[in-house]
């Protein structure tokens, strides 16, 4: 049978949907992306705000039309946990309701519901369930959400989560590292660790900073993020590990909620405004460029105008990079709904508006201050607004769009920022040379240019081939091309405009600096250079042993016969960066 999942709410739900996919695929189900192709539709729901639930209820009604009579409809997630069997009363087309700790039962529940044509509900909490034995089916090719803990013990008085997700439990460190390594092997370089309060992660005496330290050692991962941090549990040890782990990004989401101590106490947040400000100053001392984002609630029960001003003041003092701002919304089942002195709706809205105005000004200022800087961007997708632009994020989590093409997805590029449009940065790629392909000229180029064809295929595979390539090759390699006359100057390196060697220019290079300069000047990406130059030119830019080894390998292999159709990459270096910030990478080709 074919299933489709519609996900609502937070990243935790996105991660859970990937987990559910994995469980169902393992059981023999097939995932599809359209209701029209599906036999089963699963709504992974959110209960944090009332309108999140209203949206899902509306969507269920539209899907459960007579035209879709064959569809099995299931509800999972927080709303399933909160309402359980009551959901059947809301819409009788619902076939199954499954709570957050019962996802491993889904194949059986679906099967039974389908076979017996009966409604099934299972929302029993299982506080030992961590889904350790399932690697989620990733739906995003650049970013992986990795759940490190489930549930919450904090019982903030406005929040439904402890009732829908149960008590806090941390996943074994070994399982988390395994899941991250798997993501890295699939070339997903950006990891976000998820938990309701990641700062209280604890597994067999390993706390959250210990976990970060271990993840930072995983080679194939380039960026580590995490949400959400509770201010009461943000330790000096964590700040220190963040500052000293090069892969941990300079960003923290630290919910403030209110700037007034009485309101924080009524919210059961267990920290004061002074504690929060102290954390901000410690974070900025350790990481001067850190971006701090937050959540704020306007109009919590009992909030006076003066108490609200305390929140506004803190926002103006801290100058958050971004804030998720909400008016207080009652959730039945939470303590805050029972508090007297609920703030009138109109006042909540008015305060929210003032928060938004203040923060918009701050965010605009922050984003504008980035104009003129060059940022490292992890390219994630084609821009939603303009198919000719790409979209990615800075290390400090700012969406950035720039000129580019799909071949860049999953790579890191440098973008010079020239505009701040709302909460998006815009810029142009600073086109560093990103790749060096070194070819030993003694192998020649192959009778039918098969080496270059092979390289082109590989470049595509590595997503490096852009519309702006260059082939640079040594004199002897150039002369070995069909119909090419000998060059006069022995130090020449030949630049051609593409893989078909249409000559664009002949330029003398005596050092890698020359080569890098030319590449920058020509705004080009790909190099091919004669083998003798590997040693003499690139030695200062790479690991000595590595280059020597390659050179020796070439020397030993000089007797190789013609390698038509048998070229392959025999050595591949890590991506490295020169002192002036140019990225480069070696791919050494040889034959069987």
Residues that bind ligand SF4 (CB under 6 A): 152, 154-156, 159, 161-162, 196-197, 230
For residue 91, what are the CA distances in angstroms to 57, 74, 76, 81, 550? 8, 11, 15, 16, 67
Q: Which is nearer to ligand SF4, 84 or 162 (CB)?
A: 162
- Nearest residue (CB) to ligand SF4, 107 versus 162: 162
Query: Closest distance between ligand SF4 and the C-beta of residue 9, in Å?
Result: 12
Choice between 149 and 314, CB closer to ligand SF4? 149
If one counts every other C-beta atom within 10 angstroms of the C-beta of residue 207, the result is 18
Minimum CB distance to ligand SF4 smaller for 36 or for 155: 155
334: Cα separation from own chain's centroid:
33
Label residue 166 exposed, middle or buried (CB < 10 Å: 0-12, 13-18, 19+).
buried
Q: Which residues pair with 44 in a beta bridge?
A: 7, 76
Q: Cβ of residue 470: shortest distance to ligand SF4, in angstroms?
A: 52
Q: What angle do CA 247, 253, 259 make, to 5 degrees?
A: 150
Least distance to ligand SF4, CB of residue 81, Å: 13
Q: Distance (Å, rounded) from C-alpha 215 to C-alpha 468?
A: 36
The least CB distance from residue 253 to ligand SF4, in Å, is: 11
* Phi, psi for residue 253 in degrees, rounded to 5: -100, 110
The CB density around residue 58, as the number of other CB atoms within 10 Å, is 10
Closest CA to 73 of 123, 27, 6: 6
If DSSP codes are grouped into helix, strand and coil, which group holds residue 377? strand
Query: Cβ closer to ligand SF4: 121 or 197?
Result: 197
Least Å from the CB of residue 162 to ligand SF4:
5
Task: Give the residue with the Cβ less far from ligand SF4, 256 or 473.
Answer: 256
C-beta closer to ligand SF4: residue 233 or 571: 233
Min dist CB 208 to ligand SF4, Å, is: 14
Give the closest residue to 274 by CA, choosing from 294, 284, 259: 259
Residue number, 48 or 343, with CB nearest to ligand SF4 = 48
Which tokens in the block code for residue 81? 């946990």
- C-alpha–C-alpha distance, residues 451 and 590, integer Å: 9
Q: Which residues contact 114 (CB under 8 A, 6 or more apart)?
A: 1, 72, 95
Which parts of 283-346 are beta strand (E)? Answer: 291-298, 322-327
Nearer to ligand SF4, 152 or 409 (CB): 152
The least distance separating ligand SF4 from the CB of residue 296, rounded to whole angstroms, comes to: 12
| DSSP assignment of 389-432 | EEEEE-TT--EEEEE--GGGTTSEEEEEEEEEETTEEEEEEE--
Yes or no: say if 355 and 311 are a contact pair by the CB < 8 Å rule.
yes
CB nearer to ligand SF4: pick between 82 and 230: 230
Local structure of 170: helix, strand or coil: strand
Q: How near is the Cβ of 180 to ligand SF4 at its closest, in Å? A: 23
CB of 499 to ligand SF4, least distance (A): 54
User: Taking the complex as a whole, how short is the minimal distance between the CB of residue 393 and ligand SF4, in angstroms?
Assistant: 24
Token representation of residue 568: 């392959």
Contact in structure between 231 and 275 (CB atoms under 8 Å)? yes
Residues 6 or more apart whose CB falls under 8 angstroms from that of 528 comprise: 437, 438, 439, 452, 455, 471, 472, 473, 477
d(CA 514, CA 127): 62
Q: Rank residues 196 and 307 by Cβ distance to ligand SF4 and give the closer one.
A: 196
Instruction: State the DSSP string of 525-551.
Output: -EEEEEHHHHHHHHGGGS-HHHHHHHH
Partnered with residue 143 across adjacent β-strands are 190
Comparison of 78 and 512: residue with beta carbon closer to ligand SF4? 78
Nearer to ligand SF4, 21 or 147 (CB): 147
Which residue, 123 or 199, is less far from ligand SF4 as judged by CB? 199
Choose among 455, 425, 422, 420: nearest CA to 437: 455
The dihedrals phi and psi of 499, each to the nearest 5 degrees, come to -70, -10
Instruction: Return the number of the residue (232 or 484) whose C-beta is nearest ligand SF4.
Output: 232
CB 57 within 8 A of CB 83: no
Q: Shortest gap between Cβ of 240 and ligand SF4 (angstroms)?
A: 23
Least separation in angstroms between CB 453 and ligand SF4:
55
Q: CB of 411 within 8 A of CB of 379?
A: yes
Give how far Cα 153 sits from Cα of 84, 129, 157, Å: 22, 16, 12
């Amino acid at each position: 049978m074919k299933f489709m999942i519609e996900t609502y709410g937070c990243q935790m739900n996105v991660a859970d949907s990937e987990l559910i996919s994995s469980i169902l695929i393992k059981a023999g189900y097939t995932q599809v992306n359209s209701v029209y192709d599906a036999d089963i539709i699963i709504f992974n729901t959110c209960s944090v705000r009332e309108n999140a639930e209203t949206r899902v209820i509306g969507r269920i009604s539209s899907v459960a039309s007579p035209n879709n009579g064959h569809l099995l409809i299931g509800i999972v997630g927080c709303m399933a946990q909160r309402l359980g069997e009551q959901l059947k009363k809301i819409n009788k087309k619902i076939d199954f309701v499954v709570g957050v700790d019962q996802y491993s039962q889904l194949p059986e529940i679906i099967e039974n519901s389908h076979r017996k044509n009966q409604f099934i509900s299972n929302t029993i909490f299982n506080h030992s369930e961590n889904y350790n034995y399932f690697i989620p089916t990733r739906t995003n090719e650049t970013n992986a959400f990795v759940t490190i803990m489930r549930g919450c013990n904090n019982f903030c008085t406005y929040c439904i989560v402890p009732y829908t997700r149960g008590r806090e439990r941390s996943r074994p460190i070994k399982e988390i590292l395994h899941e991250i390594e798997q993501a890295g092997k699939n070339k997903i370089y950006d990891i976000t660790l998820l938990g309701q309060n990641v700062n209280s992660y604890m597994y067999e005496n390993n706390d959250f900073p210990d976990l970060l330290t271990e993840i930072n050692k995983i080679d194939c991962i380039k960026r580590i993020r995490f949400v959400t941090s509770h201010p009461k549990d943000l330790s000096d040890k964590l700040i220190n590990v963040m500052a000293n782990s090069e892969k941990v990004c300079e960003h923290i989401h630290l919910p403030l909620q209110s700037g007034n101590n009485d309101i924080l106490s009524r919210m059961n947040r267990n920290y004061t405004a002074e504690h929060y400000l102290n954390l901000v100053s410690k974070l900025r001392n350790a990481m001067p460029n850190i971006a701090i984002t937050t959540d704020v609630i306007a109009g919590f029960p009992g909030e006076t105008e003066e108490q609200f001003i305390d929140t506004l003041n803190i926002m103006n003092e801290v100058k958050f990079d971004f804030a998720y701002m909400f008016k207080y919304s009652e959730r039945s089942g939470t303590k805050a709904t029972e508090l007297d002195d609920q703030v009138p709706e109109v006042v909540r809205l008015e305060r929210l508006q003032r928060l938004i105005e203040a923060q918009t000004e701050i965010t605009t200022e922050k984003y504008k201050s980035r104009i003129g800087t060059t940022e490292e961007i992890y390219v994630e997708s084609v821009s939603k607004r303009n198919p000719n632009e790409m979209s990615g994020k800075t290390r400090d989590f700012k969406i950035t769009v720039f000129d580019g093409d799909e071949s860049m997805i999953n790579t890191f590029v440098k973008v010079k920022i020239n505009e701040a449009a709302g909460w998006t940065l815009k810029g142009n790629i600073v086109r560093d040379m990103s790749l060096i392909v070194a070819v030993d000229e003694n192998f020649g180029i192959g009778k039918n240019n098969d080496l270059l064809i092979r390289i082109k295929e590989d470049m595509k595979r590595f997503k490096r081939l852009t519309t702006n390539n260059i082939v640079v090759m040594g004199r002897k390699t150039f002369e070995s091309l069909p119909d090419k006359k000998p060059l006069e100057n022995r130090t020449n390196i030949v630049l051609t405009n593409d893989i078909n060697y249409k000559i664009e220019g002949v330029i003398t290079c005596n050092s890698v600096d020359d080569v890098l300069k030319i590449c920058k000047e020509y705004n080009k990406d790909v190099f091919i250079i004669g083998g003798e130059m590997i040693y003499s030119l690139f030695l200062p830019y790479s690991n000595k042993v590595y280059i020597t080894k390659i050179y020796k390998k070439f020397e030993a292999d000089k007797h190789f016969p013609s390698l038509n159709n048998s070229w392959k990459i025999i050595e591949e270096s890590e991506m490295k960066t020169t002192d002036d910030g140019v990225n480069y990478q070696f791919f050494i080709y040889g034959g069987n």
